[in-house]
Amino acid sequence: MASRRPKRRTLGALLWNTLQEEWGVWLAIATLLLVTFLFSNQLAAWLEKFTFIKVLDSLGKLGLLIAVIAFLREIPKWEERTEEEA
């Protein structure tokens, strides 16, 4: 009895099958990207009016500041570990 080996699929065939099976998802992604590229300036101007967006922006800046401070506080510990290892 001969053993059957599974057929090897080429990358092109795999991509084509995936595209055929999930065309709706890819179409939605392409549409969203196109709308975003075409109307990005208008969308940004519209979103600037919302307080929630301003709060998110401030929280993002605060998070970045906290991350930098935490990183800088770790530098002396690196130096101590380097000295201990030597």
pLDDT score, position 61: 96
Query: For residue 7, which of 55, 17, 35 has the smallest C-alpha distance?
Result: 17
Percent of the chain with pLDDT over 90: 28
pLDDT score, position 24: 83
Q: Are 26 and 19 in contact (CB under 8 A)?
A: yes
* Token couple for 65: 């500041």
CB half-sphere exposure, 52, CA atoms < 13 A: 2
Residue listed under structure tokens 């906290």: 66
pLDDT score, position 5: 57
- pLDDT-derived band at 33 (thresholds 50, 70, 90) equals very high
